[in-house]
Amino acid sequence: MITLDVLYSLIEENYVFLLDCDETETLQYCSKELKKNLGLHHPPGFKPVLDDVLDPAALISFRQAIASANEGSRGVNALLTPKRLRSTNLPMHVRYVEEEGTKHYLFFGAQIDTLNHISDWERDERVKELSCLYGVAEWIESAPNIDAFFNKLPKYLAPGMRFPAEALVYSVYNESTYGLEPASGDYIVVFLVVHGELKGEIRIGYLQDSHDLLPEEQKMLSEIGRILNLALERKELAESVALKSEEESGFREQLARLDKKISAREGELEAQQQKLSTADSYLHRINSGWEKASRRMETMFKAIPDPVMLIDTDLNVVMSNKPNVESGQKCYAAFFQRETPCPDCQYKKVLRDKTPITSSLRQENSFLQLHTLPVFNDEHEVDGILEFFRDVTLEKTYEQQIQQADKLASLGQLVSGIGHEINNPNQFIRGNVKIVKQALEDMLPIIDAHYESHPDLKIARLKYTFFKDHIMTLVDDMAHGSERIKGIVDGLRGFARKDDGLLVDKVDVNTLLGATTRLVQNEVHKRATIELQLADDLPHFIGNSQKIEQVLVNLIVNAAQAMNDDIKGKIVVTTSLDKDHVMIKIVDNGRGMDEKTQKQIFDPFFTTKRTRGGTGLGLAISFRIIEEHGGTISVNSEFDKGTTFTIRIPAAQSAAETGKEND
C-alpha cells in the first residue's frame, strides 16, 4: 500500500497547500506554505486541532467534507478560511486514506495568489490527474504480475483523460500488446525504459479525432511513465530475486524504494472501472436486445406454415424454415430434387425487373403458388431473393369443382328442351317400328306363297331368301336403337333436373357399401376383387340412400371396367372420418387416366367407352348427386398405375341445411 510520506510528496509536487487531519480533527501534517498562512508556530510535539486554526464556517465545511468522504464520496471539496485571513477563501479538495488503522483526511489546494486565475475545470483536472497517478501506482504494486498489470492498465489510465469514456489505452511491453490501439496518429506516448533498455511504450488517444489532447495529459502520462519505469524494474527484479542469494538484501532495499514511487496512482482506477462497467452494461443491453430480436425473428420465421427460403445470387439457400433444408444447398436441389436449375427459374426476372413475382407450378399431384420477392443491398441492387411456397391444391380442386358445377348448371338448362325435341319424334319411331314388325309378320306367309311360283322374286333389289332372313333383324335393330335413344333422353332428363326424392334418409355408408358390393358382385368379379376397409363408429349423414348407392355402383363398376384385360385387378374401398366429413375412397390398380382425361370425366357425354355402349352421363350424374348432398367428389389418377375417387360428405349438418346453402 502507498505510504503517507509518498502521498504527501506527490501532492506537494502539484499543490502548495496540504493539510492532514485524523478522525479527532487533530492535524497530523501541514505543508510549509499552509503553516505560514495559518500562522502555526507551535512547539515541537504539539498538534493543534481544526478548531484552533479555522474560521467557524470553514470548520463546518471541513466536517461536512469528512462526513462525505466517510460515506465513500469522491471529489469532495471544502472551503478553507484561516482565522488570521478572514477575507480569504481557499477551495480545498479532500482525499480519504487509511494507514495502520488510522483514518487520514487529506485537504489540498492551490496557492493563494493563483486562486483567482485557476478555473474550476483546471482544479478538477489536477485532482483527476492526481487520482490517476495514485491509482496506477497502487495497481502496479498490487498486480500479481506484469501481464496482469498491463491487461487492466486501461481501467486505471483512462479516468485521467479529459474524455475518459472515449479514451483508448494501448501498451506494448516485451513484444506483447495490450488494449486497443488508437486508429489515428493523434495520441500521446511515453516510452518504457527498464534497466536502461527500451522495453515498450504506452499510447493514449481518443475514438474521435475531434477531441484534442492536452499538454497536461502528456505531463500526467510522462509522470506515470517515470513511476512505471521504476516499478517495472522492481517487478523484473522480483521475478529474478532467486538468482543470487547474496544480492537479496540489495533487491529488497531497491524494491522498498520502488514501492514508494509507484503505488501513488491506484485510487482513480475505481472511477475508471465504474465508467467501463457502465459502458459494458450498455453494450450488454444492446447485445441482449439484438439477441432477443434475433430469437423473435427466428421464431416467427419458423412459425410460417408455408415453406420459405432465402436464396443468394448463386442460388444457394441462406436460410429456410424447412427442417430438412440446410444452408449452402442449391435451391432447386433442396426443394425440387433437381440436379440443374429450374427451366422457369424466377430469379432472372426478379433481377431484371426488381419487383415481386407470383407464379403457379405443379409438383407431381400438387399445385403450388410461388411468391418471389427481391432482397436489396445498400446500393438498391438485388443480391438475393425470398421465396414463399404455398400449396393451393385444395383451392385448385374447389375451383375446378365450381367450374364443373357451373358447367353442369348451364348445360342443365339446355338439356330439358333438347330431350323433349328428341323424344317426340322418337315416340313415332318406336310406335311405327312395332306396326311395321307386325305387318311384316303378317305379310311374309303371303310373299312365301308367291315366291313358290316366282322363284326369281326380289324385294328392295335383294333376293327374297336373303331379304326374308335379314328383314326382321333390321326391324329389331331399329327397335333397339329407338329404345337406346329413349334411355339417353331419360338419362338427360335425370341429369338436367334435381331429383324430387327427398334427402331425409339417415345414411349409414358402411351398411350401404356392403349392399352395393353384393349388388355388383356378378358384374365385377370376373375383372377384379373388392376389398372393404371400413372405419368403426363412422357417423351417419342425412341424405338419399338410393342416390348414394347409385354413385357407389357407378364408381365400382367403372373401376372394374378400367382393369387391364390380362390381369385380374383389385378395388379397395375405404371409409373414414375427416374432421366433420364422412370420406369414401375407391382405389383401383387399373389403367389409370392421363391429365387431359381427368379434366373431362365429369363432363356430360364424355366417355372412353363409346364402343361399349357408354353414354358419358354416369359420372356427371354422380357429380350432381354428391353436390346435392353438400359434398365433393374428386379424382386422382396416374396413367398405367390406377385411379382414386374421393367423396367427402358433411356429417354434421342436415341435407335441408345443405340445400339452403346451395340455393
Cα–Cα distance, 165 to 174 (Å, whole number): 28
The DSSP secondary structure of 452-513, one letter per residue, reads HH-TT-EETTEEHHHHHHHHHHHHHHHHHHHHHHHHHHHHHHHHHS--SS-S-EEE-HHHHH
- Rounded mean pLDDT of 628-653? 88
What pLDDT does residue 48 have? 87
Residues in the chain, overall count: 663
Residue 341 has pLDDT above 90, yes or no: no
DSSP at 228: H
Q: pLDDT digit string (tens) for 419-458? A: 667 878 888 888 888 888 888 888 889 888 888 888 888 8
Is 625 within 8 Å of 548 (Cβ atoms)? yes
Model confidence pLDDT, tens digit, residues 454-492: 888 888 888 888 888 888 888 888 888 887 787 667 655
Quickly list DSSP for 8-32.
HHHHHHH-SEEEEE-TT-BEEEE-H
Local confidence band at 9 (pLDDT 50, 70, 90 cut-offs) = confident
3-state SS class at 240: coil
Q: Measure the CA–CA gap between 167 and 205, rounded to whole angstroms.
A: 6
pLDDT at residue 366 is higher than 60: yes
* Beta strands in 377-447, from DSSP E residues, in sequence order: 382-391
Residue-level pLDDT at 243: 47
pLDDT at 614 over 70: no
For the chain, give the percent of residues with pLDDT over 90.
10
Residue 41, pLDDT above cutoff 80: no
Structure confidence by residue, pLDDT tens digits, 255-292 = 767 676 666 566 566 777 777 777 777 777 777 777 77
Mean pLDDT of the chain: 78
Reported confidence tier of residue 108, pLDDT bands at 50, 70, 90: confident
- Name the β-bridge partners of 135: 265
Distance CA 525, CA 245 (A): 114
User: Residue 285: is it exposed, middle or buried by C-beta count within 10 angstroms (0-12/13-18/19+)?
Assistant: exposed
Question: Under a CB-based contact definition with an 8 Å cutoff, are residues 549 and 580 in contact?
Answer: no
